[in-house]
């Protein structure tokens, strides 16, 4: 869809924390996602228009007990551009220790996960489970703030379920603690990712707080980005699932911010970027795992093109990175994913 509206998006004037003056112009964020927002994917999204990219969320206990796999999730040394690290857990001591240990990493903010609905996080009383235990949430919040050398932010949901919606109370609590901004996904924990994100509640939190609110939920392209900002007046938007297989969403969002038409992303560009992604993942994870990780992106990347299912079958039929890249280069040169279809 073409963006014909060159007027600035209606955003609420907010109080910018002097520790993060760059926040004034920060609009487009990549959400922390397990198995998705690793270093190669952040590097892929950054030139597309991401103002800040977050690592995969990391277990505070894993960091404290020096888990090699957990520390790999927060690989930010030498990373260009704004980057955030998000931690989760339910033990205030572990969370505070993790915040202190992370001081050696390159990051602009340390985010606390108060919103993840995943079973593996909630069953240990972390993530969105803390929305149902505000005394523990506060204890964790203060432990992290006291131990972190960078500003602390948080991501929340609207509440545990429809009978315990408490985003206003939580948002005010976070603002009072001195957080420079709050990100909110417009669903309850009980909803997980079902139904629709409640943008009315994001708009209400925007009006309730003096600090910036970053909206999250159901933005999938430039047009829905424009709609969310117009509906909520949020300071910025964080993209999660909408970026999987579609890093160009940030180009679309940037075009909206700058009053330009939607960028045209052709098939050959999709193939080129996917090749770059394969190379990055293979370098990070090794040939087999690297190719496997890219599959979730390939499953969505070419959706809608005639013959896309055939191209996916060819790509999923091999675990060899060079073969995958050769298939993509061949299809890109022909401009047709149906190449070789019988």
How many Cα atoms sit within 13 Å of 285 on the Cβ side? 23
Cβ pair 222, 256 in contact under 8 A = yes
Cβ pair 120, 92 in contact under 8 A = no
Q: C-alpha 121: how far from its chain's center?
A: 17
Calpha distance 143→335 (Å, rounded)? 54
Instruction: Name the residue among 266, 254, 225, 264 with its Cα closest to residue 242.
Output: 225
Average pLDDT score over residue span 192-221? 97
pLDDT tens for 52-94 read: 999 999 999 999 999 999 999 999 999 999 999 999 999 999 9
Is 116 marked active-site? yes
Asked whether residue 240 carries a pLDDT value surpassing 70, the answer given is: yes
Asked whether residue 176 carries a pLDDT value surpassing 60, the answer given is: yes
Beta strands in the chain (DSSP E): 28-30, 52-54, 58-59, 82-88, 109-114, 152-156, 182-185, 213-216, 236-239
pLDDT tens for 313-326 read: 999 999 999 999 99
Two tokens at 217?
């939920």
Calpha distance 137→25 (Å, rounded)? 29
Predicted pLDDT at 228:
98
Q: Is CATH 3.20.20.70 the classification given to domain 21-257?
A: yes
CATH architecture, domain 267-334: Orthogonal Bundle (1.10)
Asked whether residue 342 carries a pLDDT value surpassing 50, the answer given is: no
- Say which of 45, 55, 116, 301 is annotated catalytic: 116
Predicted pLDDT at 4:
52
Predicted pLDDT at 303:
85
Average pLDDT score over residue span 243-249? 97
Cβ pair 336, 307 in contact under 8 A = yes
Asked whether residue 2 carries a pLDDT value surpassing 50, the answer given is: no
Asked whether residue 6 carries a pLDDT value surpassing 80, the answer given is: no
Average pLDDT score over residue span 275-295? 95
How many Cα atoms sit within 13 Å of 122 on the Cβ side? 14
pLDDT tens for 19-47 read: 999 999 999 999 999 999 999 999 999 99
> If you ran DSSP here, which 8-state letter would residue 311 be given?
H
Predicted pLDDT at 5:
59
Asked whether residue 7 carries a pLDDT value surpassing 80, the answer given is: no
Average pLDDT score over residue span 265-280? 94
Percentage of the chain with pLDDT > 90? 89
Supply the DSSP string of 199-250, one letter for each residue. HHHHHHHHHH-SS-EEEESS--SHHHHHHHHHHH--SEEEESGGGTT-TTHH
The domain segmentation of the chain, as residue ranges, is 21-257, 267-334
Contacts 24+ apart (CB under 8 A), 256-263: 256/3, 256/9, 256/222, 256/223, 256/225, 256/226, 257/9, 257/27, 257/28, 259/3, 259/5, 259/6, 259/7, 259/8, 260/3, 261/2, 261/3, 261/4, 262/1, 262/2, 262/3, 262/222
Asked whether residue 141 carries a pLDDT value surpassing 50, the answer given is: yes
- Quickly count: other Cβ atoms within 10 Å of residue 123's Cβ: 10
End-to-end alpha-carbon separation of the chain, Å?
A: 33
Which residues, in sequence order, are bridge partners of residue 113? 155
Helix, strand or coil for residue 86? strand
Percentage of the chain with pLDDT > 70? 96
pLDDT band at 123 (very low <50, low <70, confident <90, very high): confident
Which residues, 6+ apart, have CB-to-CB distance to 326 below 8 Å?
none
């Amino acid at each position: 869809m073409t963006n014909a509206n060159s007027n600035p998006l209606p955003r609420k004037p907010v109080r910018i924390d002097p520790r993060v003056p760059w926040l004034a112009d920060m609009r487009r964020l990549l959400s922390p996602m397990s198995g998705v927002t690793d270093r190669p994917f952040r590097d892929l999204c950054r030139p597309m228009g991401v103002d800040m990219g977050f690592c995969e969320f990391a277990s505070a206990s894993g960091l404290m007990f020096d888990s090699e796999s957990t520390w790999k999730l927060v690989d930010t040394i030498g990373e260009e551009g704004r980057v955030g690290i998000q931690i989760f857990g339910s033990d205030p001591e572990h969370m505070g220790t993790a915040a202190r240990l992370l001081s050696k990493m390159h990051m602009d903010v340390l985010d606390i996960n108060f919103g993840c609905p995943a079973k593996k996080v909630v069953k240990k009383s972390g993530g969105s489970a803390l929305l149902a235990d505000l005394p523990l949430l506060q204890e964790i919040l203060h432990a992290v703030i006291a131990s972190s050398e960078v500003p602390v932010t948080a991501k929340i949901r609207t509440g545990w379920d429809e009978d315990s919606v408490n985003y206003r109370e939580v948002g005010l609590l976070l603002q009072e603690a001195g957080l420079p901004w709050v990100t909110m996904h417009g669903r309850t924990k009980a909803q997980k990712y079902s139904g629709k994100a409640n943008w009315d509640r994001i708009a209400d939190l925007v009006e309730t707080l003096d600090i910036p609110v970053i909206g999250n939920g159901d933005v999938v392209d430039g047009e829905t980005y424009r709609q969310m900002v117009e509906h909520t007046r949020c300071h910025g938007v964080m993209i999660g699932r909408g970026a999987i297989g579609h890093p160009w969403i940030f180009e679309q969002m940037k075009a909206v911010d700058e009053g330009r038409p939607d960028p045209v992303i052709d098939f050959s560009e999709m193939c080129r970027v996917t090749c770059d992604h394969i190379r990055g993942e293979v370098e990070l994870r090794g040939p087999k795992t690297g190719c496997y990780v890219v599959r979730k992106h390939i499953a969505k990347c070419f959706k809608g093109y005639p013959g896309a299912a055939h191209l996916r079958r060819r790509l999923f039929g091999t675990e060899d990175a060079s073969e995958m890249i050769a298939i993509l280069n061949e299809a890109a040169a022909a401009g047709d994913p149906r190449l070789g279809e019988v």
